[in-house]
Structure 1
Amino acid sequence: MADIGKPAAFDGIGRVRFGAGSLQRLSALLTLFALVIGFGLASSAFLSVNNGLTILLQTSVIGILGIGMTMVIITGGIDLSVGSVLALAGVISGFAVKAGLPVFPAMTLGMLAGAACGLFNGFVITRMRIPPFVATLGMMLIARGLALQLTGATPVSGLGRSFGMLGNGALFRVVEMQQSGFPRVIFPGIPYPAILLAVVAVLIAYILRRRRIGRHIYATGSNEEAARLSGVRTDHTKLYAYTMSGALAGIAGNVLMSRLVTAQPSEGVMYELDAIAAAVIGGASLSGGVGGVGGTLIGAFIIGILRNGLNMSGVSAFIQQIVIGFVVIGAVWIDQIRNRPS
């Protein structure tokens, strides 16, 4: 199984060197443990099984988006469109179900729509030579506009119980029927979105660590010119990374819309910032060449636990944004210190 715990970087001559960014990954892990201990001491309910599973469920969408974002950031790019692509993919899945398509093929269609948006991003960046920030900002507006235009800015509802299975179902859920006729949940089970997150994490970690395209992603971000001279098809590699980011945004859109059992064209606003924050907190370098799936998962759970714990403490959503903003600034500051020449 691929090692998903270590960030990596390219050494400029064709090899991936592991362990770069270990300071930031270690600090993120210590922060995660400190948050769990702190919120656990503040409220005994925080450490309950039900709350832990709730955190897993809430973090799954940001985790999946963050993993796709990590691939792009490693190449030295950025993807500001994932929140809007998430909404568009969910809307397309919803329309496909309304048209009579079974849920799985419909969600596959939504994922492919996300991949198409990512492919377009990659094409604009590699062929038209438009900077990633501008290209993906344009796609953010295009995808959101398409989602709103297709739906008339209204939710796509009436999708049926089967559409909500992915987002609301759970493995090993134990339910007991009471004498009153009402069910009682003995064990809520492991949410399907959390299982999907684990599958995506292992798959992408394997690609980054064990496949040639993974080595090329690190090489492109570490030193694009050196990678090109070493025979790496850097444009092809960027195209792959952005397509994967779009596809994972499509999967995240399916999960989120399934949780709501409606396709909401206005969902996913600011999610791209959470995805970037998860990757950066977890050790991905905005200058490229450094990052890993394990670090991004840690970053996603830091965000999820912060929001959950602050909610339980009665802190407003606005204050939560301020706190997470300071956390992101701190993570980038550590990244800057790490990249300073000694």
Structure 2
Amino acid sequence: MSNTNGNTKLRFLPTGSSLHKLSALLTLLLLILAFSFTSPAFLSVNNGLTVLLQTSVIGLLAIGMTLVIITGGIDLSVGSVLALSGVVAGLAIKAGVPVMPAMAFGILAGAFCGFINGLVITKLRITPFVATLGMMMIARGVALQLTGAAPISRLGEAFGQLGNGSFFRIVEMQANGFPKVIFPGIPYPAVLLVVMALIGGFLLQRRQIGRHIFSVGSNEEAARLSGVKVDRTKIWAYTASGALAGLAGMVLMSRLVTVQPNEGVMYELDAIAASVIGGASLMGGVGSISGSMIGAFIIGVLRNGLNMAGTSAFIQQIIIGIVVIGAVYIDQIRNRN
């Protein structure tokens, strides 16, 4: 706190631990190095683009999750909201709505779920864990009810463009008349992830809403006394998380070229893991979008490398769980110090 000309102002340093972020980056580089020895194909261009594509959904969820965690909250509903957003878009397309507006409806549905989360947490004073757990079940139930638990297919080629298209794809026609892919191109989801990460980082570090998010997570009462609209800030963070979950749903369902109401199960845990590995503190007040992106790629590289090594999905979950526990332990040590 500082007093200037009789006005009370609160000064915050909205940056996470640089050391934690550096250690996460070092971990990512070591993983890449280790997996490059286990499989020669790991460092290929095609596999690199595959990692980008696979990480895009978790990365988008992690951006929203980071905003929420910095406020001192948690959002367990993002996986179910992802599925519900896809269902809304799929049903809109089936009703004759063009693909782009239908996807916009899906993202708005996700934002609405996040907005409800924020209202329940701030106005009803229900803890974020319980409120978002309830939304997780509600959103999943609505998605299954609307579809009868059946996938929505035959949505047209345009629906698959977002998830399967790419920039700078180079295809060469061979003498035999068959095309040969020279460069598969940079996937649209990867570009979308970069754009959203830049926007999220800019809002968090350069705009007033970012300063308010950090202040609420650092000391909610001090933030309120300093004039920060705490409830509005929390609602904004949860709405942004819901909207990004909706966007992630559009990317994932587009990749599948079909809407699966059962998709997104356990994705919220991957998003939380990515944020924590990247330096976000579950106590609130600490975190960064860049750190969360590093965390998302650690999970993506781990999964990809272990898949190429023939490791079972069950063992992968165990390894990622150990990594998350280690990251939280480091965070606790940092908080004690």
- Smaller-chain TM-score bracket: over 0.9
- AA paired with 1:235? D
Q: Provide the secondary structure at the position in 2 that maps to 1:16.
A: coil
Which residue pairs with 2:50 in the alignment? Answer: 54
Which residue pairs with 2:126 in the alignment? Answer: 130
Cα deviation, residue 23, structure 1: 2.3
Which residue pairs with 2:62 in the alignment? Answer: 66
Q: Provide the secondary structure at the position in 1 that maps to 2:13.
A: strand
After alignment, is 77-86 or 39-48 more displaced?
39-48
Cα deviation, residue 100, structure 1: 1.2
Cα deviation, residue 15, structure 1: 2.8
After alignment, is 258-267 or 23-32 more displaced?
23-32
**Aligned-partner Cα distance in 1 for 2:15–2:231:** 26
Identity of aligned residues (%): 72
Residue deviations 1:218-252, cap 9 Å, x none? 00000000000000000000000000000000000
Structure 1, gaps ≥5 residues long: 1-11
- Return the match for 1:228 from 224, 227, 230: 224
Contact 1:24–1:331, Cα closer than 8 Å, also in 2: no
Whether 1:181 and 2:156 are equivalent positions in the alignment is no
Which residue pairs with 2:26 in the alignment? Answer: 30
Which residue pairs with 2:292 in the alignment? Answer: 296
**Aligned-partner Cα distance in 2 for 1:15–1:126:** 24
**Aligned-partner Cα distance in 2 for 1:273–1:241:** 18
Which residue pairs with 1:318 in the alignment? Answer: 314
Which residue pairs with 1:152 in the alignment? Answer: 148
The two structures, once aligned, show a CA RMSD in angstroms of 1.1
Which residue pairs with 2:271 in the alignment? Answer: 275
Cα deviation, residue 18, structure 1: 4.8
Contact 2:16–2:288, Cα closer than 8 Å, also in 1: no
TM-score by length of 1: 0.95
**Aligned-partner Cα distance in 2 for 1:90–1:19:** 34
Q: Provide the secondary structure at the position in 2 that maps to 1:206.
A: helix
Matches within 5 A, 1:1-342: 14-340=10-336, 342=337
- AA paired with 2:309? S
Cα deviation, residue 19, structure 1: 4.5
Which residue pairs with 1:4 in the alignment? Answer: none
Contact 1:76–1:288, Cα closer than 8 Å, also in 2: yes
- AA paired with 2:230? T
- In structure 2, the CA distance between the partners of 1:13 and 1:335, relative to structure 1 (3 Å rule), is farther
- In structure 2, the CA distance between the partners of 1:155 and 1:328, relative to structure 1 (3 Å rule), is same
Cα deviation, residue 184, structure 1: 1.6
Contact 1:13–1:227, Cα closer than 8 Å, also in 2: no
Structure 2, gaps ≥5 residues long: 1-7
The number of residue pairs the alignment matches comes to 330
Cα deviation, residue 176, structure 1: 1.8
TM-score by length of 2: 0.96
After alignment, is 90-99 or 230-239 more displaced?
90-99
**Aligned-partner Cα distance in 2 for 1:93–1:181:** 38
**Aligned-partner Cα distance in 2 for 1:150–1:315:** 36
**Aligned-partner Cα distance in 2 for 1:229–1:193:** 41
Contact 1:279–1:295, Cα closer than 8 Å, also in 2: yes
